[in-house]
Amino acid sequence: MSAIKSIKYRLIFWFLSVSSVIFTGLGIFLYYELREIVIGSVDRHIETEIQLLASWLREEEEHGHLEMEVVELSKAAVGEYAVSLSGHYYQIVSSSGKVIARSPSLSIANAYLPLENNLSQTPRIKTITGPEKGLLRLMSQSFKVPSDTITIQAADTLQEHYQLLDSFRNTILIVFPLTFIFSWIGILIITDLSLRRLKILSKKVGRITAKNLNERLEQQNMDSELMPLVDSFNTMLGRLEESFNRQGLFLSDASHELRIPTAVIKTSCDVTLGRERGAKEYEDTLRTIAGMANRITDIINRILEVSRLEGSTFLLKLSDVDLMDIMQDVVRLIEPFALSRQITIKLNGSSMNIKADRERLIEVFTNILDNAVKYNKPNGRVDIEVSKWGGEAIVEVADTGMGIPDNEKERIFDRFYRLDASRNMTAGSGLGLSIVQAIVKAHGGRVEVKSEGDKGSCFIVYLPMGS
Amino acid sequence: MRIILIEDERQLAQILKKGLEEAGYSVDTAYDGEEGLYMLENIPADAAVLDIMLPKMDGLTVLNRVRKKGVQTPVILLTAKDTISDKIKGLDAGADDYLAKPFDFGELLARIRSLLRRKAEVKEAVIRIADLEINTASHEVKRGNRIIPLSAREYVILEYLAYRKGNVISRTEITEHIYDEEFDLDSNVVDVYINYLRNKIDKGFRRKLIHTVRGAGYMLKEE
């Protein structure tokens, strides 16, 4: 299994398959090509011999003593044609099938070349077994002479040539597998070398754990092919580190948030239990504890809500809703609280239909309005304007409160972030605006905040009209 | 002993004030950094309990400022953050001690006592002057082997004198360290309590421990 999944072994397997096909093909091709060349040269030699014999015959015919001179003709043959069964033969056959003349190499041994049945004036060639049991290349060609049609047959042994071919084949059979083995070793080394970089890289990646997520892979001395991998790893590490840090920050913020009510409970108990007390004091302490327990529950619920909103389990129930109608509901919800602080809320705008989650939007604007009232000056105002611009519904909530310093505008949407601990009196958990942000983002919208000095702040919610 | 408590979480501040007062301290409470800074600079307190996360000005800034002005009041920092770097920052800013929320109230009291001893150069929890024993942890007072029952106010004045034994303490100083700012300063009250204390501690003993230094104040010493 592991061999199949290894890049190295796959590379070797493919290399072996491809190179064995190439080497075998090349070997076969070279062998047959050489054989063609060798036999071709034999054939040309025989053909020249036949042409030579034919011109001799024509010359003799002109003198009219064809029959007489055949012996002369055969005597004229010299060298290898004169040696018995040398593998170089010729014979001249009349149309009646009688051998008129043959080379001494045949006549001494009293051997004949096999006769050709279908005579033709174009040369016919084939490979036969000769009188000396070796392979022969035999060519037959007929010529018309005034008295008759004679056939000249000439043959040459292939024995030496086949020996050459055999030794060539043997060379191929030795050299090619050797080449094959050497290149196999070569490819083993090459894959090892190129995979070593990957191994080093994977070791480096392996060294990065949750404890040293701030480390990055070096880009120096890295092969250009591995650069995209290194880049992707570094990008991924960056994202991981960010989410790790956010998670850590969230946990420390959450625990910090929970420490305050816990400290109140703990100290209340310590002080109250410090001495014998009356029923009224015990009751007061229990009330304090109950209040703090509510606050802890509220913090936990909001933590859960934020993590749900930021997670994937958050689904919007979209329907056609009138944004103005939602705002009127929210204003009705907040009005008693606003009145208790002598704050006037004014809502401007007209009916506007959008596709949204009604309950969630009520949550969004309740949070925003709650802040606008909570952090307002006494006798302050909250002005709400509902309008549209370029396919977006816009809700602006402006208050006459203490405003938000420029350097804190970015952070107010962070979980648990609170501008000022003094605003803590109303027991906010510091999660309201991050919930607002999450819901508006889920709708495909965005939240902006404007604030100029201490003239109050303005929250602007942009929501797409339809989705 | 007078303690300045600077804590913005009102419910925590109230219960701490109550607990500290029950332990015999007079407590001045501030709910934000600016108010706390003012109190530290203007009230001759014996110790301060300072929260780090405060509105208007954070606790570390408050501490830095008062230390620069030469205010030596021992300060215990309270915080909801308890990482080492927070502790280092706090101590470097001039804090004398550090306590992470939620804490044990008994521990806070013990640490306050420890700071008061440090300031007074009394190193034990039990202060001894001749045969008089004042246990600052249990508030138990003994002369010879006899337990002397004291009212809270009497104890507090005795303890203050004991911490600074051998020194002359003016009536004003006693008042300032015994009462919080809500109390209308009237040094005659001190004379009244000193009288009560004399009756309980020195009466029937040949050796008098509470001395009146004419025109200057009172002193607790062996001779």
**Of B19, B14, B85, nearest in space to B52 by CA:** B85
For testing contact with chain A, the best of B101, B103, B107 (most A CBs within 10 A): B101
Residue A147, pLDDT score = 73
Point out the residue among A252, A263, A270 whose CB comes nearest to the CB of B101: A263
Distance CA A53, CA A123 (A): 14
Residue A416, pLDDT score = 60
Distance CA B88, CA A409 (A): 30
β partners of residue B134: B127, B141
ipTM for the predicted complex comes to 0.74
Laid out side by side, the sheet with B2-6 consists of B26-30, B2-6, B47-51, B75-79, B97-100
Q: What is the pLDDT of residues B148-194, one digit of tens each?
A: 898 888 888 888 888 888 888 888 888 877 776 666 666 577 888 88
Q: How far is B86 from chain A (nearest CA, A)?
A: 13
DSSP code at position A406 = G
Chain A positions contacting chain B at CB under 8 Å are 252, 256, 259-260, 262-268, 270-271, 274-275, 288, 291-292, 420-425
* Contact predicate A63/A145, CB 8 Å: no
Distance CA A267, CA A144 (A): 137
Inter-chain CB proximity B53 and A266 less than 8 Å: no
In the predicted model, residues of chain A with pLDDT beneath 50 are 1, 68-69, 71, 419-427
* Contact predicate B156/B1, CB 8 Å: yes
Residue A360, pLDDT score = 87
| A322: amino acid identity, one letter | D
Domains and CATH numbers, chain A: 7-163 (3.30.450.20), 227-310 (1.10.287.130), 319-464 (3.30.565.10)
Provide the token pair at B35.
Answer: 């108010």
Point out the residue among A256, A274, A425 whose CB comes nearest to the CB of B22: A274
Residues 6+ apart with CB under 8 A from B172: B185, B187
Cα distances from B18 to residues A205, A273, A274, in angstroms, run 57, 12, 11
Residue that is written with structure tokens 């949204």 in the block: A356
Residue A456, pLDDT score = 84
Inter-chain CB proximity B19 and A266 less than 8 Å: no
- If you measure CA to CA, which chain B residue comes closest to A270? B105
Q: How far is B85 from chain A (nearest CA, A)?
A: 14
Residue A311, pLDDT score = 62
Domains and CATH numbers, chain B: 2-120 (3.40.50.2300), 126-220 (1.10.10.10)
Where b means 16+ CB within 10 Å and e means fewer, B87-110 reads bebbeebbbbbbbbbbbebeebbe
Cα distances from A313 to residues A114, A239, A363, in angstroms, run 96, 21, 18
**B223 touching A, CB under 8 A?**
no
Residue B70, pLDDT score = 87
